[in-house]
Amino acid sequence: MELLVFGHAGVRVLVFPTWRGRFYQYEDNGMVEVLRDRLEGGTLQFFCVDSFDSHALYNHDISPRERILRHMDFEKYILQEVLPFSEGKNPNPSVTAQGCSLGAFHALNIAFRYPDRFNGVLALSGRYDLIRSFGGYLDLFDGHYDEDIYFNTPCHFIPNLTDTELLKQLRKLDITLAVGGADVFLENNRALSQALWEKGIWHAFHVWAGKAHDFHHWREMLRLYAQPVGG
pLDDT digits (tens, 9 = 90+) for 90-105: 999 999 999 999 999 9
**3-225: in CATH 3.40.50.1820:** yes
The burial of 231, by beta-carbon neighbours within 10 Å (0-12 exposed, 13-18 middle, 19 or more buried), is given as middle
What is the predicted pLDDT for the residue at 188?
Answer: 97
What is the predicted pLDDT for the residue at 229?
Answer: 56
- Give the pTM: 0.95
- Would you say 14 and 95 are in contact if contact means Cβ atoms under 8 Å apart? yes
Q: Where are the domains of the chain?
A: 3-225
CA distances from 97 to 162, 182, 197 (A): 24, 25, 20
Tell me: pLDDT of 127 over 70.
yes
What is the predicted pLDDT for the residue at 231?
Answer: 39
